Structure 1
Amino acid sequence: MPQRKGLENHTVGSGFVLLGFSDHSSLQGMCFTVFLVIYLAVLTGNSLIALITVVDSNLHSPMYFFLRNLSFLEICYTSVTLPKMLVGFLMKDGRISFLGCAAQLYFLVLFGSIECLLLAAMAYDRYTAICAPLHYSLLMSRGLCTRLMVGSWMVVVPVQVGQTYQVFTLPFCASHDIHHFFCDVPPLLELSCADTFWNHVMLYTIILAFVILPFSFIVISYIKIIRAILKIPSVLGRHKAFSTCSSHIVVVTLFYGSAIVAYLKQRSRDSVDTDKYLALFYTVVTPVFNPVIYSLRNTEVRIALKRLLWTK
């Protein structure tokens, strides 16, 4: 028992090293520039989406309420990982303190889990709008939307506090080099010299609750939505109904596709680079493309943006 305590103290003092993309040392300057531009694009694009859904009265509907929350989450999500990665590129130093790593992990899984639940709520909104249009205003009231968001935070916050505590009470007595560009559960568990069986049980339970079940709900919702759309007699009506869902489908595919593969596939030394590139999709690519996807595919958003940017 005293030995375990010593190991834990050693871990707290030394912290970790995020190796990230350090194997491409000659490209550090270019990577810094590219990811800086991406981060600024994420901040600008998602801030604009959030702003127009607040100031434009035509966008005060449940769909845009959820879109505003999604944009806020994307800003928070990328701010957990990209600034630290940019500092690493600039300083050529991937060191991160023990507490810094714990904070990064906590906020990453917190925002990621809430985004999964939010995407499921957005699917329910589209299902209600297309499959029960006469009852839409009743079923998707402002109170329900608020309760869905508040409820998501109330459920996820304590669960992810528990998972973070469980991970960071492990002794990390092997290498402290994390083969990733942010602190995540699987690579951290690989560094522990203790039995991580229950950590893996909790990890897969959380994945089931906050990833697989919401994704299954989204799939079932869209099966019913597609059936309802196919029953619409006019081609124009079918196209209009589908266009209201297409942006959400693209975002769900990008986010869930990469996240599910990254967390559920078997990890190995040969797959380290693959894991990092998959993580780029759900932590960087999806947040930067969300505003583009919603503005290009949504006429109301495009009109609201023009009013905001060109109104004197």
Structure 2
Amino acid sequence: MLKGLSITPPVIGRISIGRVVEKHGKRLPEKDDQFTLTSQVQGRDGWVLHPLDETLRKGANGKLRAIPVRLLFNDPNLNLRAEYSLFDRETGRPVCVGNGETCKRMGDDGLATLPCPSPDGCAFGKASGCKPYGRLNVIVGDEDEMGSFIFRTTSYNSIRTLAARLHYFGAVSGGLLACLPLELKLRGKSTTQSYRSAIYYVDLGVRAGGKLEAAIADARELDDRRRTAGFDQAALDEAARLGFGNGAFEDSPEEAAAVVDEFYPEATHGEPESNGDRSVTGEAPATTLRDKLGRQAALLGGKAA
């Protein structure tokens, strides 16, 4: 294994809320109130849709606000990695990554380990745009049992909610997180920072129509089948742990475009900084009763009308 190269879960697609489009020579965030699944290929109009996007959208009345998923690992911290991160705005390369106690910072003299007081207490981070940055890997569909979709976010709400859910589900299932039938859900809320307009963040829950007790029973059955077949989940978790620890930074130069899209989308004129949550501030108002009901359903965590 090459030292200094972080070995991350194989990625076959991306999950995003909204997208970044090019208008008048500038890359601008186009807000949305639904998920989008894309491939890892970019075209003139942005990221090319993954075939599963159309498949899932057919069963969601056009608005994709829930995605059935499974997780790769039993360890919550392997499924969701979150750090305070600072990237070079032009190249997308990581400059400084910390956990609130220590950080790794790239400087003229190479990589240095320094104290990390979090962005609010760090002059370097404040001046350079340090943010919380999370990456969640999930399995969507049955085509590739080791291939994952990655959801990148700088949203406090998404990171905090996903971290809590992962640890809670892992605890109540007896550590069978990778066997639970779950789904990503898009939820809405209003805050003072969003000027009371709806912002959207990502949550994780038991699949629609299911109960937690039934999901745990299903997880135990799947775990038994895997053990009988020789599937070693503990070894998979350890292999992933060693892979993540093999490099100083998780994100590679090849992922620069995705990183810059999430970290530095050029804010539209007159809109507040969104701290990573997708706000509908500045969107054209819903013009039909169906649109209004759909927005309200998303805000309440339900399905579109």
TM-score, normalised on structure 2? 0.24
Whichever structure has more strand as a proportion of its residues is 2
TM-score, normalised on structure 1? 0.24
Whichever structure has more helix as a proportion of its residues is 1
